[in-house]
Amino acid sequence: MKILVWYFSGTGNTEKVAKSIQEGLQGQEVDLIKINDVDPAKIGEYDLVVLGSGIYGGMVSKNILTMMKKITDFPPKVAFFNTHSSPMSYSGKAFKRIIKKFETGGAKVVGNFECIGENLGIPKEKQEEMLSNLPPAEQEKAKKRMEEIEGRPNAEDLEKAKEFGTNLI
């Protein structure tokens, strides 16, 4: 199978997950490529595209949305993955329009994976400042969440990403 693991990573979290998914696809012909480094006209040449993004403000990266407008030929199968630091799940939600475009193009969605990722895009000092603006009860909740996501994706998360890749074959 010819597979493209195609991703945008603003902080490095999504890239770690993409590499783990690639490991899980061992034995297949796999291209691991950042979103802007692929010719959108070539997407349809793959048997499976595994598309990933960090989630920013509840949305996938604008780079992905821009690239999606340029695709005219779709693969037969597609899967999605994301990283985020939110306490809520984004499985499928952030990719809703993209999923619809792939399906309209004839692709079948065969999987979805999400992973917690530490919010590396906001410096610790800025996070502390933001926390200080919250009411005390909300500060405690936010601090607890920050502790939960510190160091993520971790080894266990990356192993799950690898398993996701293996299960796609």
Residues 151, 12: Cα–Cα separation, whole Å = 12
* pLDDT confidence band for 129 (50 / 70 / 90): confident
Residues 30 and 87 in one domain: yes
Number of domains in the chain: 2
% the chain with pLDDT above 70: 96
Is the CB of residue 38 less than 8 Å from the CB of residue 6? yes
Is the CB of residue 37 less than 8 Å from the CB of residue 8? no
* pLDDT confidence band for 46 (50 / 70 / 90): very high
3-state secondary structure 108-129: EEEEEEEEECCCCCCCHHHHHH
Residues 44 and 108 in one domain: yes
Q: Beta strand 2-8 with 29-34: parallel, antiparallel or unpaired? A: parallel
* pLDDT confidence band for 6 (50 / 70 / 90): very high
Residues 59 and 88 in one domain: yes
**pLDDT over 80 (residue 2):** yes
Residues 60 and 141 in one domain: no
Residues 28 and 54 in one domain: yes
Higher-pLDDT residue of 137, 50: 50
The pLDDT, as a whole number, for residue 124 is: 75
Q: Mind giving me the DSSP string for 28-66?
A: SEEEEEEGGGS-GGGGGG-SEEEEEEE-BTTB--HHHHH
Burial of residue 26 (number of CB atoms within 10 Å: 0-12, 13-18, 19+): exposed
Which amino acid is located at 56 in the chain? Y
Residues 66 and 126 in one domain: no
Is the CB of residue 22 less than 8 Å from the CB of residue 30? yes
Residues 104, 99: Cα–Cα separation, whole Å = 8
Q: Provide the whole-model pTM.
A: 0.88
The pLDDT, as a whole number, for residue 120 is: 67
The pLDDT, as a whole number, for residue 131 is: 78
Residues 20 and 88 in one domain: yes
Residues 53 and 65 in one domain: yes
Residues 23, 90: Cα–Cα separation, whole Å = 24
Mean pLDDT across the chain: 91
Enclosing domain of residue 131: 120-151
Residues 10 and 32 in one domain: yes
* pLDDT confidence band for 62 (50 / 70 / 90): very high
Residues 89, 67: Cα–Cα separation, whole Å = 24
Question: Lowest-pLDDT range, 83-87, 93-97, 163-167?
Answer: 83-87
The pLDDT, as a whole number, for residue 136 is: 87
Residues 86 and 163 in one domain: yes
SS3 label, residue 72: coil
* pLDDT confidence band for 144 (50 / 70 / 90): confident
> What CATH number is associated with residue 42?
3.40.50.360
Question: Lowest-pLDDT range, 1-10, 44-53, 81-90?
Answer: 81-90
